[in-house]
Amino acid sequence: MPKVPGLLKGLGVTLNTLKRTTIDGANTVQYPHEKEAPPVRARGVIALREDNCTSCMLCARSCPDWCIYIEGHKELAPPRRAGGKPRQVNKLDRFDIDYALCMYCGICVEVCPFDALFWSPEYEYSEPRIADLLHDKVKLGEWMETVPEAPALEAGAEKKGKK
């Protein structure tokens, strides 16, 4: 008997939610028809800026799942100044991320020393075939268009960087 008020209160909670949902609508979103904007810095998919990549392999080595595959070769580029020696550059042949393996930890993005990898909030890239989840460098490059502008630095962050 002493528990009856609590029991009635519990019934009241569900009934209130029923009323609220009827009047104000549900907390959920009817997904394929309407979409929720993902939060800023959402980890949807990793985009690649190929020009920045030096195929240093840091991302591939730091990946806990070994889901990044990089192949490259060395090439001689014309010298910067006239009369100089030709420069040696790393050319990227293959840069694949297997999203069937990726666990979205973001270590590759953190570790990249030349800002070649970025988070994009895009999340609708499911495939009927698991092999199609392997995104090559062309597809990863296309994701660059969806990468949002980097948020402004916090106050004081720049000063600290100068030191």
Strands (DSSP E) found in 44-126: 45-48, 68-77, 87-98, 117-120
Residues 6+ apart with CB under 8 A from 136: 94, 95, 96
Q: Which is nearer to other proteins, 27 or 126 (CB)?
A: 27
Query: Nearest distance from residue 21's CB to other proteins, in Å?
Result: 4
Q: Which is nearer to other proteins, 27 or 88 (CB)?
A: 27
Query: Nearest distance from residue 5's CB to other proteins, in Å?
Result: 14
Q: Which chain residues interact with other proteins by CB under 8 A? A: 7, 10-11, 13-15, 17-18, 20-22, 26-28, 30
Tell me the residue type at 140.
L
Give 98's DSSP letter. E
Query: Nearest distance from residue 19's CB to other proteins, in Å?
Result: 9
Give 134's DSSP letter. E
Query: Nearest distance from residue 36's CB to other proteins, in Å?
Result: 14
Burial class (CB in 10 A: 0-12, 13-18, 19+), 55: buried
Q: Which is nearer to other proteins, 20 or 94 (CB)?
A: 20
Q: Which is nearer to other proteins, 33 or 81 (CB)?
A: 33
Helices then strands, each counted (H, E), the chain: 5, 5
* Degrees, nearest 5: CA angle 127-141-40: 80
Query: Nearest distance from residue 1's CB to other proteins, in Å?
Result: 9
Q: Which is nearer to other proteins, 24 or 51 (CB)?
A: 24
Residue position matching structure tokens 């270590």: 107
